[in-house]
Amino acid sequence: MDNLTVAMTREYVEVLEMLKLIPREDFLKIPKEKIQLYEKYKDRNYKFKINPNIDLASQNISRGAYAIFVNLYKEYIATPEEKSNVENRLQSNETKKKASVIKSNENIHIEEVDKPLENVAIVETKDSFVKKIINKIKTFFHMGEVN
């Protein structure tokens, strides 16, 4: 763990901020060791706050933090059906990514491969902030919305 990058330690800060906004019963499903690891290795000089009144897409949350959060959701919070849908979507994205790399020239840029994730948008609703997070994940994985 000594080889953590600055980006990774900042992602942990962002993930911890997102986790503060999920329901307590969901938070308690995540192993304490994971939370302790994020706390131990977070960048203590990086200040990041989530404004629950602004949609997530407007808050500059890193892709790495989203990936960690989606993984936590999939592994510890999602129902078996949701977990299957997430895994299928991740597999589909990986296949698309590989196809994109094969089709492109040798001067490929990572940003070009990852563009499908940048097009995810949140529709402003009157749902709670937690529902917005879960709906964003579900929308991304085409699983419907939380009511």
Q: Could you read off the pLDDT of 54-109 as tens digits, one per residue? A: 887 788 899 899 889 989 998 999 888 888 888 888 777 777 666 655 555 445 45
User: Which range scores top for mean pLDDT: 4-8, 44-48, 97-101?
Assistant: 44-48
Residue 67 lies in a domain: yes
Distance CA 9, CA 39 (A): 9
Per the structure block, which two tokens stand in for 98?
């590989």
Q: Is residue 146 part of a domain?
A: no
Domain encompassing residue 67: 6-140
Judge contact between 138 and 145, C-beta under 8 A. Answer: yes
Q: What is the DSSP letter of 76?
A: I
User: What is the reported pLDDT for 108?
Assistant: 47
> Rounded mean pLDDT of the chain?
77
Does 86 or 135 have the greater pLDDT score?
Answer: 86
In a domain, 75, yes or no: yes
CB 112 within 8 A of CB 59: no
pLDDT for residue 46 is more than 90: yes
Q: Would 145 be classed as within a structural domain?
A: no
